Amino acid sequence: MIELDEQQQRARIWFEGLRDSICAEFEAIEREAGSNAAFDYLAWDRVDASGAPGGGGVRGVMKGRVFEKVGVNVSTVGGAFEGDFAKTIHGAGEDPSFFATGISLVAHMANPHVPAVHMNTRFLTTTKRWFGGGADLNPPLPYAEDTADFHARLQAACDAHDPAHYPRFKAWADEYFYIPHRQVHRGVGGIFYDHLENDWEADFAFTQDVGRAFLDIYPKLVRRRMNQPFDDADRQRQLEWRGRYAEFNLIYDRGTLFGLKTGGNVDAILMSLPPMAAWS
């Protein structure tokens, strides 16, 4: 296991605790639907290019009646970036050493009326130390009420720390979660932030509140829509939308590239892909 300093350890413990809270809530929703589905956890170890231990993580996946497929991963890894990839990472251009810990979540839902969702928060150390992450809602069949409630909860989390956060991070999400070759956004947005490195305690507190905001609002949206009737046309719309989601994650997603470039567990990295998709 790689050695962690106090800040790295505190961040790791938070992300793992958030994982436990989210997974417990999602399993509770499955129980409400009459399902006994539960997360299946698989631990994995990473070895860096020199053959030394490079940390690892735990992949958690559940397939149930409400959650057709949801993955909640945590990882804590370290080592050195290889080749020119280091130049693309904040603070690693001259020294390729790095540390990263975080949580990544993607939920694909059985009912097309329930929005799919992505959430990721992380702490990285190079020659600099910073937090990044965010959450965005991805409904195949959007509802204005759901979109407004999701954004309002994220804005409340942002406003508690800095009123400038929400407009800045919302605009960043709109820019980032965009599929250029389709000229469409992959969902209805949320927030995205990176390189947050002004005050460690304040930035950590904000990142924690982003996680708490997600845990508060998303289960409410799931419960609001999970029993809503749907037809074959709704399902087809969902499958085609999932194709767009897969395109973004395989072509543009930074987290996917980071995981593959740093020797992460491939199944954990690609857990974001939907169980079924369609292209017309």
Residue numbers annotated as active site: 118
**Cβ–Cβ under 8 Å, residues 44 and 57:** yes
Distance CA 275, CA 110 (A): 10
Separation CA 218–CA 280 (nearest Å): 30
CA-to-CA distance for 263 and 49, rounded, in angstroms?
A: 8
How far, in Å, CA of 251 to CA of 253, rounded? 6
Residue 223 in contact with residue 145, Cβ under 8 Å? no
Burial of residue 104 (number of CB atoms within 10 Å: 0-12, 13-18, 19+): buried
Give the Cα separation of 74 and 57 in Å (integer). Answer: 5
- How far are the Cα atoms of 62, 113, 114, 275 from residue 228, in angstroms, in the given order? 21, 7, 9, 21
